[in-house]
Structure 1
Amino acid sequence: MIKDTSSQDTVIAPKLGRKLRLPLIIGGGAILMSALVWASLGQDSSVRSVDGADLRLATLIRGTLVRDIATTGKIVAANAPILYSTEEGVVTLLSQPGDEVELGQVVAKIDSPRLQSELQQQQSLLEGMQGSLERAKLDARREQLRVSQILDMAKVDLEAADRESRRGDQLIESSLISKIDFEKSKDDLHKAKLLHKHAQQEVDLMRDTLTFEIKNRTLEVERQALVVSELTRQANALNIIAPVSGIIGNWLVEQKARIAASQPILTVVDLTAFEAELAVPESYADELGLGMDVELSFGSVNVVGQLSSISPEVRNREVTARVRFADSNTLSLRQNQRLSARVLLENRPNVLMVKRGDFLNLGGEIAYQVIESVAQQKTVKLGVGSMSQVEVLDGAEEGEVWVISGTESFKNQPKIQIR
């Protein structure tokens, strides 16, 4: 009888791999659990993790903060007068847009028959008045001659009467004439004196009268001459001349058009004087001041100018400013040429500052400082800023590293892990 199969069994020793399998499984499980625990800690709600490639960092430095405004504008002629019509009429434009003209050159003419007719009428009237004046002078000379004759005759009569009076004095002493004849000679002398006196007064009065009449006629002629002179000036003004040397800008009317008085005709651009016209946002309008330096760039050319005028009104949320710059004669400029500009508002030396970024959207009171791959939130106080830098007034020190861009993903958390 067979009790069991032990006599048939053979003992086989276990291999080395089977001995290590269990420890390896246990160790791998422990490592996996540790990794899961660390990952769970990294994903804890109190510490977020972001990719450092999405962030932009900047170091706080000390230096001179240049406050500026970046804007755009265009080149405009500092002297571009508009020429207007002086009278109603038909205009003839003698120069094309773009033509060069000299100072005093006739660039347009206006045909005004009404003005020409009125000028001829007034000239004819002036000539008639001048003839009347000469005739009045001849009449005055004739009257002066007549009264002079009367005065001379009165003087002769006076001398004769005086002589008869003296003869009567001698005869009455010798009793050769009667007393009546003697008295009659005295009366004749007295009458001759009166006639001579009146003749002298008439000569003086006639002289004053003729002088007044001639003066009055002369004033009338002079007044009429002024009328003719004014009409002549208006007639000459029908020739529109260039007030500056330059080029014709634009025609503002058509050729041979009938225009009214004071209607714009064309523009003349002075090529020797240019300015820059800038459009500055109204938020910076209160910070602008006359005489501020402005850096202008058009193409590869950079020049420095000064603010010469600031518009008092706001249009389309912008304020217009004019910049005057030197050496415009040596530059190749064109009307309405576009340019970029940088208005230098202020220089602040020894300022703690950091580059601008979207961290300013947090209100200017919160910043994230990077310390050993961790961005920590801190309260700061920011000051004025330029186009590239912003002043740090409080809450930071030189050398600190801040996150200046990419903070929108921080969700206002106090700490952020940077991977």
Structure 2
Amino acid sequence: MIKDTSGQDTVVAPSKVAQFKQPVIWGGIAFVLFAFVWTTFSSGRASASIPRSELRFATLTQGDLVRDIATAGKIVAANAPVLYSTDKGTVTLLAKPGDQVQQGDVVAKVDSPSLVNNLKQQQALLEGMKSNLEQARLDARRDQIKAEQTLDMARVDLDAADRESRRGDQLIENSLISKIDFEKSKDDLKKAKLLFAHAEQEVSLIKDTLSFELKNRAAEVSRQQLVVNELERQVAALAIKAPVSGIIGNWLTEQKARIDASTPVLTVVDLSAFEAELAVPESYADELGIGMDVELSFGALKVMGQLSSISPEVRNREVTARVRFDQVDGMKLRQNQRLSARVLLENRKDVLMVKRGAFVASGGGREVYAVQGEVAVKHEIVLGARSTSHVEVIDGGKPGDVWVISSTQDFEDAEEVLIR
């Protein structure tokens, strides 16, 4: 009979590691299941998660919304006239760019020999016409004296004839003269009267003729005087004067250059009046209006101004606008100095608003993610007026709500997103 191996078996006591191994494994499985259930419970239907550090948040508030346009521009002189030559010639520039000038100072001269020579010729002609006028006046006085002398002689002859006629009347009564002599005295009287009457008419005609001739000569002298005055003005204009006090801007021609009439010579910048020239996007052109308030920023200094002019044309998709403002102490402005500006289009009182962010573009202005605890929930919204810093909320929010204002493209249009 063969014996079994039971006599060879020995009792082995279980190790402490084996006693705790299974509970640890089952405990780990339970922890993983618990974490999964907790995560699922916390996130609800969240299908994505985004780190909080990658998002920007803003709280909806009630307040005044100023709708504005942010733009840039430069300082320009409100009065910077360009000076032109009045005639062709050789220009001599007397003031250099940057020189201070006062109103009326001569800043350039144009040498025009032909214009100066023409002036001298016309002046000589004027002097000759004046001499002729004086000679005509002397001749008129001489002719008038002769006419009056003839009239006086006719009056003497008339008086003598009248006297002979009266003597004839007395002699004929006493039959001391013949009837023929008597009639002859009467004829002499009639003749003397006719001669005197004709002499009076001739004197009157001579006076009128001389007056007319002198008037014509005087008119010719006056016309020639106007010609000389105009030439003198043109010659004086060859000395180009500063129309305002300021500084010389730029030379627009070369020194001693041969130029034609109406050629730009130089510019004078009036430092007492500056304006801001802004470049506004054409999409806002219809909203601009004369008199709108504009906030100008010169670094840390801010100044308020008003729109004074708006260009009717569009260049490079921009509209040029001018802003008039009052200069304050401490402002050191220069031509073409850069600046930033805000055109204040509208001021809405007591509206619901939120800070402006990329969500306006990514959500098309119709969707936003509102923060509820650790979850961002998508909501439909209606936005209104927009400024450079805030956006009006017409529908879809209330004061105190917190929105994600950064771009929501990474949310992939999920209804809910976990913020971790």
TM-score by length of 1: 0.95
- Shifted more, 1-10 versus 277-286: the winner is 1-10
1:152, CA displacement in angstroms?
A: 0.3
Which range is displaced more, 36-45 or 112-121?
36-45
Closer, same or farther: CA 235–309 of 1 in aligned 2, 3 Å: same
Partners of 1:69 and 1:387 within 8 A in 2: yes
Q: Tell me how far apart the structure 2 counterparts of residues 190 and 370 of structure 1 sit (CA, whole Å).
A: 135
Structure 1 residues 77 and 329: alpha-carbon distance in aligned structure 2, compared to 1, 3 A threshold: farther
Q: Deviation at 1:241?
A: 0.5
- Show the counterpart of 1:411: 412
CA 1:328–1:143 in 2, change beyond 3 Å: closer, same or farther?
farther
1:8 deviates by: 4.6
Q: Aligned residue for 1:157?
A: 157
Report Cα offsets for 1:104-161 as digits up to 9, x if no partner. Answer: 1111000001101110110110011011111101110110111111000000000011
1:13-92 alignment to 2 at 5 Å? 13-35=13-35, 47-92=47-92
For 2:386 and 2:96, the matched residues in 1 are separated by 50
Match for residue 384 of structure 1?
385
Deviation at 1:307, TM superposition (A): 1.1
Distance 1:240 1:330 in 2: 34
Q: What's the counterpart of residue 130 of structure 1?
A: 130
Superposition deviation, residue 328 in structure 1: 5.5
Aligned to 1:95: 95
Asked if 1:146 corresponds to 2:146, the answer is yes
1:272/1:329 contact within 8 Å kept: no
8 Å CA contact 2:123, 2:228 repeated in 1: yes
Q: Runs of at least 4 residues of structure 1 off by over 4 A?
A: 33-46
Bigger mean CA offset, 391-400 vs 12-21? 12-21
Any unmatched runs of 5+ in structure 1?
A: none
Per the alignment, residue 400 of structure 2 pairs with: 399
1:278 touches 1:322 (CA, 8 Å); kept in 2?
A: yes
Q: How does 1:3-402 map to 2 (within 5 A)?
A: 3-35=3-35, 47-327=47-327, 331-361=331-361, 362-402=363-403
> Number of matched residues?
419
Identify the range of structure 1 (322-331 vs 345-354) with the bigger mean alpha-carbon deviation.
322-331
Structure 1 residue 36: Cα displacement: 5.8
Q: Once the two structures are superposed, what CA deviation does each residue of 1:255-309 show, in whole Å capped at 9, x if it has no partner?
A: 0000010010000111111111111111111111111121112233322111111
Contact 2:101 2:246 in 1 (8 A): yes
Against the structure 1 CA distance between its residues 169 and 343, is the aligned structure 2 distance closer, same or farther, given a 3 Å change threshold?
same
* Separation in 1, partners of 2:48, 2:80: 63
Q: Are the counterparts in 2 of residues 88 and 261 from structure 1 also a CA contact under 8 Å? A: yes
Q: Distance in 2 between matches of 1:191 and 1:289?
A: 94
Q: Which moved more, 1:119-128 or 1:323-332?
A: 323-332
- Residues 290 and 306 in structure 2, CA contact (< 8 A), matched pair in contact too: yes
In 2, Cα distance between equivalents of 1:28 and 1:300:
63
Deviates more, 1:293-302 or 1:369-378: 293-302
- 1 CA distance for matches of 2:328 and 2:196? 86
Cα distance per residue 1:190-236 (max 9 Å; x no partner)? 11111000000100000010011111101101110110010000000
Structure 1 distance, partners of 2:245, 2:328, is 15
Measured at CA, do residues 146 and 70 of structure 1 come closer, stay the same or move farther in structure 2, by a change above 3 Å?
same
Q: CA deviation at 1:39?
A: 7.0
> Is the deviation greater in 146-155 or in 45-54?
45-54
Separation in 1 of the partners of 2:265 and 2:329? Answer: 27
Quickly say closer, same or farther: Cα 1:299–1:44, change in 2 above 3 A.
Answer: closer
Deviations 1:233-265 (A, max 9, x none): 000000000111111110000000000100100
Following TM superposition, by how much is the alpha carbon of 1:37 offset from its aligned partner in structure 2, in angstroms?
6.8
User: Hey, what's the Cα distance between the residues in 2 that align with 1:330 and 1:222?
Assistant: 57
User: 2 CA distance for matches of 1:340 and 1:272?
Assistant: 21
Letter in 2 for 1:203: V
**Do 1:273 and 1:328's aligned partners in 2 also have CA atoms closer than 8 Å?**
no
Mapped to 2, the partners of 1:274 and 1:229 lie a distance apart of 38
Structure 1, 113-122 or 10-19: larger mean CA deviation: 10-19
Residue pair 2:43, 2:418 contacting (<8 A) in 1 also: no
1:285 aligned partner, one-letter code: A
Kindly provide the CA deviation profile for residues 321-374 of structure 1, in whole angstroms up to 9, marking residues without a partner as x.
Answer: 111111267521111111111111221110100011111112211111111211
Paired AA for residue 415 in structure 2: P
Write the distance in 2 (CA, Å) between the matches of 1:330 and 1:157: 98
CA contact (8 A) 1:42 1:48 kept: no
What SS does the corresponding residue of 1:90 show, helix, strand or coil?
strand
Structure 1 range deviating more: 171-180 or 357-366: 171-180
Q: Aligned equivalents of 1:223 and 1:286: distance in 2?
A: 56
Q: Using the TM superposition, give the Cα deviation of residue 392 of structure 1 relative to its aligned residue in structure 2, in angstroms.
A: 0.6
Measure the CA separation in 2 of the matches of 1:410 and 1:9: 68
Q: Secondary structure at the match of 1:213?
A: helix
Q: Bigger shift: 119-128 or 37-46? A: 37-46
Name the aligned partner's letter for residue 325 of structure 2: F
Structure 1: how far apart are the matches of 2:384 and 2:306? 26
**Counterpart residue identity of residue 388, structure 2:** M
Work out the percentage of aligned pairs sharing the same amino acid: 66
Aligned partners of 1:183 and 1:328: how far apart in 2? 109
| Contact 2:45-2:416 within 8 A present in 1 as well | no
Which one-letter code corresponds to 2:4 in the other structure?
D
